[in-house]
Amino acid sequence: MIKTVRGVIKGLGYAVDGYIGAFREDRHFRINLSLSLTGTLLSLIFLDGCTRLILALVNWLVLAFELVNTAVERAVDTATTERLPTAKLSKDAAAAAVLTVGLFALTCDILILLPAILRRL
């Protein structure tokens, strides 16, 4: 049991290191973190019930995808310094995934959150 708890704590430490590393080294991560925090905070303030949780989840999915994108970019950069078409596609596809989720989050924020904010003003 103690060994399992130590393993979980060690794993959490790696995850925290991932957050810290992405925050320090990736400008897009910092941008998406501020947007996700803002969207989540506004959702918690202006929405009710499940809608607030769903919108918060959508906003945090952008951050999760950005972390995966950061990992893909670093892995490709570590694997090769050549300009290979497959390396470019890997990085571009990961960035496209972030963009796709980001556009979905923006659409949800505009359609759901913005009207709720405007009603309260």
CATH of the domain at 57: 1.10.287.3610
Percent of the chain having pLDDT more than 70? 100
* Structural domain total, the chain: 1
Percent of the chain having pLDDT more than 90? 88
pTM: 0.87
Establish if 6 belongs to a structural domain.
no
Establish if 7 belongs to a structural domain.
no
Average pLDDT value for residue range 85-100:
96
Closest CA to 86 of 71, 76, 96: 76
Which residue in the block uniquely carries the two structure tokens 């009710």? 48
The whole domain housing 77 covers 27-120
Catalytic sites, residue numbers = 66
Establish if 95 belongs to a structural domain.
yes
State pLDDT tens for residues 5-44. Answer: 888 899 999 999 999 999 999 999 999 999 999 999 999 9
State pLDDT tens for residues 93-108. Answer: 999 999 999 999 999 9
**In this structure, which long-range contacts are made by residues 76-84, counting pairs with CB atoms below 8 Å and at least 24 apart in sequence?**
none
